[in-house]
Amino acid sequence: MATLTTDYLIEKIADLQDETGLFPSFRSNPAIFYRRSDTNIFFTAITVFTVQSLRSAVSPHTQHLIRQISEQARTAFPIFQNKDGLDTYNFWPTRPSRHFPNGYLFRHFEHFRIPDDIDDTAMVYLTQIAEPPSTDTLNWLKAKLARHANGSQRHQIKNTYPEYRNLRAYSTWFGKNMGVDFDACALSNVLFCIYQYNLPRNQHDADSLVYLRSVVESGRYVAEPFRCAPHYARTSLIIYHLARLMAAFTIPELESVRSRLIADAHRELSKTGNRLEQIILATSLRRLGEVLPTIDTNHIERDFDTFNFFIAGLLTAYEQPWLRRFADRPLMQMRWQCEAHCWALVAEYVDLVDN
């Protein structure tokens, strides 16, 4: 295999982008022998966001390649935009609506037709740094986030710890009829967007930071990662998202948990055998100010199939306690994987090794 340089890896990622501008991904559940190709905006947006962050470290040719990747991805974004033309985005296509694309069963159930969400919306906005959204659009988004935050509508969050139920933190979902949901990784992403565009902060931002700080301070994100981030559900991924946010911006409210994140990242690194998970923890440690741990990247693609960055709990949306008791079981979860994004995570790490 060729030496893994950032330039080489971005060329590899570019080769994986299809004619629609998307990066292929698939969803699976090994417990029921399920695997389907998936059409979503999430993995394309987070892959583009990641490679864009590497622009200053690569050759002029690769910088041009990153611009091409970004431009091709932008042509796909409208397919996932809000069905009524609003400036929010859905995980799956909305024009026409296609939830669980390429499936045989779940696509027939309205329960699985999800509303637009803060995670996909934030990541799409964050890929537009070269041509930022207008001030009016950004202010509209900030108001939209507030209207769907916990306590802003008739829904009050039920599926979190009792002491968090009155926090006016942002909900994952924009839908009117969807229950309120707190996810530490999605909150990290939407706060990244808010800080990136220097949007005015309010109680919803403050309470979102309270939630992030508390799940770390309390150790809950280690003991019950699914409950703290139901769409990512691993301590390593919560560490990765928080470390990325804290490295990009000065956020005094999170400084008190830096040492805890570092200690937990070291412990998680010693436990996992998957080298891609080791890479995200090593990258996180460097972002938190530690020396970059050395990870063997030789033939690392062999570890891609056992790594997932995102999950969907088939029972997560239900608020009934007796149903949610089973939501964290592997049988009740779909797991998403994307080769291009895996290489983007490797590229992040290689860039840190070289710099």
Express each pLDDT in 43-98 by its tens digit.
999 999 999 999 998 999 999 999 999 999 999 999 999 999 999 999 999 987 67
Token pair listed for 142: 């900030």
Distance from C-alpha of 69 to C-alpha of 23, rounded to nearest angstrom: 10
- The alpha helices in the chain, defined as continuous H runs, are 6-16, 42-52, 60-76, 118-126, 135-147, 184-196, 203-217, 220-223, 225-228, 235-248, 258-271, 275-287, 321-324, 339-354
CATH fold for domain 6-354: Glycosyltransferase (1.50.10)
Q: What are the residue ranges spanned by the domains of the chain?
A: 6-354
Is 35 in a helix, a strand, or coil? Answer: strand
Q: How far is CA 115 from CA 111, 136, 170, in A?
A: 11, 23, 15
For residue 39, pLDDT beyond 80: yes
For residue range 169-179, list pLDDT tens digits in order: 999 999 877 88
pLDDT (average), residues 15-32 = 93
Return the closest-CA partner of residue 207 out of 235, 182, 178, 234. Answer: 182
Q: What is the pLDDT of residue 323?
A: 46
Is residue 302 packed enough to be buried (19+ CB in 10 Å), middle (13-18) or exposed (0-12)? exposed
pTM equals: 0.94
Q: What is the pLDDT of residue 112?
A: 53
Q: What is the pLDDT of residue 331?
A: 46
Q: How far is CA 221 from CA 15, 184, 217, 235, 323, in A?
A: 36, 9, 9, 6, 22
Distance from C-alpha of 47 to C-alpha of 5, rounded to nearest angstrom: 17
